[in-house]
Amino acid sequence: MLINYKAQLAGSRWFWLTYPCQISAVFGQPIGQEGSQGKMPGSVITPYQVREALSLLYVPGKLADCELASLLPEARAIGDPLARAQALRSRLLDAISSLRSSPLGLLPASASRAYECLRLRYVSGFSVPEVARKLAVSERQAYRDIRFAEELLCSLLQPDAATFLSEEQISPPAQGTDALSEELRALGCKAEVVHLAELVRSAIATVSPLADKQGGCVQLAPIRRDVAVVTTAAVLREILVQVLSCLLQSAPGETITMALQADARTATIVIPMKDPRELSRRDLLQAALKVAESQSIRCELATTSLGVALYVRLPLARRRKVAIVEDNPGACSLYERYLANSEWEPIVVPHPRLTVDTVAARQAEAVILDIMMAETDGWDVLQALKLSPRTRAVPVVVCSVVNDPELGFALGAAAYLTKPISRRDLLKALRQVALQRMTAAGDASMPE
């Protein structure tokens, strides 16, 4: 028998709880579906592009030609390279400064730490070990904090995200709205592949000073292996930080033991807690769950035999294999760098004549193919792939200095790129051909 009831928390107009005897969803939708705040914007600014621009902050010639300069409207519209670099540098510095105003609903400590990481690493030019010493953390923690700050900056820089202003510049919200809702609508975050245990430990490290102050402890139960999930890393991390801060402040002296669970399709973060109505800082829990709802991160509050727990459910990710058929070692290395930190796992084919056998044996889901190779013509390889029953369904992305897409498509290529090729164009082509194949097969599991 299910016992369902709704209880509106004091001071909240939107936060409703459902307590069944078994887990049932009460907030959010699976990633990839449209949530109550609408679809995530289609902007494609990535942490990689932000990191590249930050590393070139004081190299105007290269900064003007980086990928981020072509994505941000305020830089893209400027023809003069020096002026374009200056505009992009100003935009980056303004975004870094805005972190001090706690954007995205960040706790002040989290925003301050993100700001200090970016300021020390890129504005002041310190190395990661020097940043670690100045912030009194380990080098590994400094690296994680810098990556988190870069992901957060990526969210702030999305072309269709509103500019976050300082507290003095923010106008009062219009009647019938609230500031958090306005910020959620402005978020421009993109889902990516994330190692879950590493992210959870990073959130625990962030709240550790608060736990020490409150006489409590936050820990992660032993896990057999880390799992990769599809989520918006910076947003999920902040959700966990806010929930843990709420629990630490509401129950001083207690130990919070988080757990990770996984089945064939889903990974779950389990956070035990007391009845939410008894939490003294339930406003932090409310804000965290509202952020989760806006970003379609599925959260569930449920009663178990051990009490109440918050379940954060995330879709498991898997890296898709792509075979690289290229006899130039430098080009192979470039493609491997392009594919790093993406959903694609590169497989370098040892010899073009082994392409069909390698693609079939390794179950590659796409092929990157060069045309001008010393011992075997790429056109022959493309025809062999399309003639073999084992590989004819595998999409081929031709990447060549030979500018003949008509012939490529006639021979069965799914996409055609002319060298030199950018990381963005390669990943876009791979994603498009993979989606086309999955749509034809009735599989829509690839994350947006």
Checking phi first, is residue 11 left (phi over 0); if not, alpha (psi -120 to 50) or beta? Answer: left
Ordered domains of the chain (ranges, CATH): 47-157 (no CATH), 191-315 (3.30.565.10), 320-441 (3.40.50.2300)
Rounded CA separation 294/291 (Å):
5
SS3 label, residue 256: strand
Per-residue model confidence (pLDDT) at position 36? 31
Per-residue model confidence (pLDDT) at position 137? 80
C-alpha gyration radius of the chain: 24
Per-residue model confidence (pLDDT) at position 260? 94
Q: Across-strand partners of 310?
A: 271, 301
Strands 217-220 and 255-262: parallel
Rounded CA separation 251/185 (Å):
32
**Residue whose token pair is 């497989």:** 347
**Are 303 and 254 in contact, with CB atoms under 8 Å apart?**
no
Count Cβ atoms below 10 Å from residue 141 Cβ, excluding itself. Answer: 16
Per-residue model confidence (pLDDT) at position 234? 83
Rounded CA separation 31/314 (Å):
8
Q: How many residues does the chain have?
A: 448
The type of residue at 269 is: I
Per-residue model confidence (pLDDT) at position 172? 33
Range list of β-strands (E), 214-331: 217-220, 228-231, 255-262, 266-273, 298-304, 307-315, 320-325
Rounded CA separation 188/41 (Å):
6
Residue 299: which of 197, 209, 231, 348 has the closest Cα?
231
**Are 351 and 380 in contact, with CB atoms under 8 Å apart?**
no
Rounded CA separation 193/145 (Å):
18
The stretches in the chain having pLDDT less than 50 are 1-43, 103, 105, 160-178, 181, 188, 443-448
